[in-house]
Amino acid sequence: MTDILAKPCTAFKGDTMLSSGPLIEVALAVKTAAEQDATPAILVFEDETGHAVDFDLRGSKADIIARLTRPQKKPPPPREKPSEARGRGRPKLGVIAREVTLLPRHWDWLAAQPGGASVALRKLVEDARRNGGDKQKRRASQDAAYGFMSAMAGNRPGYEEAIRALYAGDRPRFEQCIAGWPVDVKNHAVKLASAF
């Protein structure tokens, strides 16, 4: 629960940054700002993903805190039909059987590996997770900046070229394309795109 409340977010009132920090602090700042002036609209974004966040601002600050700290209900896991035979895998260990489609040469290679296809696939996935970290961080950073920029600057001059530069990894061109944007919008886009 504390992870949700500590999730870094940033709120904008028009083109001006209103608040940035943990979700709970941003939500309370948004509540205060909304009470003082209902215009212009306030938009809140998760810093990690660039996705917009909605708050239920009804009631007091204590009501908002209570709603944010209330455990989120998770949908129940799908029930196994009694008539279905139990599938392969080791459910008690969290191993789930799913279908993978490969070419015959891939199946031949997997079959020749020590421990069989499942062990080889798990090792390949773990190795990719360990060694692909920088590439994954860069892509997540680009996607977060894209999400934020689409909402806050999609109609601004240089937007499309800035997106091209963002995904091409061309930082100087990216910064040149957004140079004329409002300072807070530009700075936050650069912050979110920092890993590219």
Residue 9 lies in a domain: yes
Report the relative pairing of strands 42-46 and 8-13 from DSSP bridges.
antiparallel
pLDDT at position 140, please? Answer: 92
Residue 86 located in a structural domain: no
95-104 average pLDDT score? 82
User: Torsion angle, CA of 150/156/158/163, rounded to 10 degrees?
Assistant: 0
Of the candidate ranges 67-71, 107-111, 158-162, the one whose mean pLDDT is the lowest: 67-71
Structural domain boundaries, residue 110: 91-131
Least confident window among 15-29, 31-45, 76-90:
76-90
- pLDDT-derived band at 1, boundaries 50, 70, 90: very low
* Mean pLDDT estimate for the chain: 86
Contact indicator for 163, 193 with CB cutoff of 8 Å: no
Tell me if 164 is assigned to some domain: yes
Give the whole-angstrom CA distance, residue 173 versus residue 8.
27
pLDDT at 196: 66
The pLDDT confidence band at residue 51, using thresholds 50, 70 and 90, is: very high
d(CA 184, CA 190): 10
**The predicted structure's pLDDT at residue 181:** 97
Both 115 and 142 in one domain: the answer is: no
- In 3-state terms, what secondary structure has residue 16? strand
- Same-domain pairing of 118 and 108: yes
Q: How confident is the model at residue 91 (pLDDT cuts 50, 70, 90)?
A: low
What CA–CA distances, in Å, run from 119 to 100, 110, 113, 130, 190?
A: 14, 9, 8, 17, 41
Q: Could you tell me which residue, 108 or 71, shows the higher pLDDT? A: 108
pLDDT confidence of residue 124: 87
- Does 6 share its domain with 54? yes
Least confident range from 111-115, 147-151, 171-175: namely: 111-115
In a domain, 83, yes or no: no
What per-residue confidence (pLDDT) applies to 151? 96
Three-state SS string over 25-86 comes to HHHHHHHHHHHHCCCCCEEEEECCCCCEECCCCCCCHHHHHHHHHCCCCCCCCCCCCCCCCC
Co-location of 125 and 138 in the same domain = no
Judged against a pLDDT cut of 90, whether residue 134 lies above it is answered with no
> What is the rounded CA–CA span in Å between residue 188 and residue 185?
5
Tell whether 171 is covered by a domain: yes
Residues 63 and 10 in one domain: yes
Does residue 77 sit within a domain? no
Do both 148 and 125 map to the same domain?
A: no
Say yes or no: 8 and 62 in one domain: yes
Task: Kindly state whether residue 78 falls inside one of the protein's structural domains.
Answer: no
Residue 145 domain flag: yes
100 secondary structure, DSSP code? -
Give me 63's structure tokens.
Answer: 């009501």
